[in-house]
Amino acid sequence: MISEDGYPTPDTLDRIRNFNPFEEDLDIFIEYLMSNWVNGYPAEFKDGVLKLSTGGWSGCESVIKALQDNEVFWMLFWYSTTCGGHYEFRDLVDKRGK
């Protein structure tokens, strides 16, 4: 969820930090993540690649920090970071063995 002032709520950031790709549905999580990505550049997800660009906005930066704190997600899916707050995550496929 996003607060009245347009920032992700503490509950939202906790949900991102605690997501487990081995036990939870990755597609649902990506939808959740994208629905809570506001005031940066629009999130893009196609063919298992998620692109997030913060535009330097602190609310988006806090989402990225929550993703970094989620060591399993970051280790499995982070691909690159480029100047200007651009992040790419690849191979976003369900890791639960479905």
Instruction: Locate the domains of the chain by residue range.
Output: 10-89
Which of 68-80 are b and which e, b meaning 16 or more Cβ less than 10 Å from the residue's Cβ? eebeebeebbeee
Ramachandran bin of 27, using left for φ above 0, alpha for ψ from -120 to 50, beta for the remaining angles: alpha
Specify the pTM. 0.90
| First-residue to last-residue Cα distance in the chain | 28
Contact 34, 2 (CB under 8 A): no
Low-confidence ranges of the chain (pLDDT < 50): none
**Predicted local distance difference test score (pLDDT) of residue 84:** 86
Contact 59, 8 (CB under 8 A): yes
**Predicted local distance difference test score (pLDDT) of residue 98:** 53
Ramachandran bin of 37, using left for φ above 0, alpha for ψ from -120 to 50, beta for the remaining angles: beta
Query: What does the alpha-carbon distance between residue 35 and residue 66 come to, in Å, rounded to a whole number?
Result: 15
Contact 6, 39 (CB under 8 A): yes
**Predicted local distance difference test score (pLDDT) of residue 68:** 97
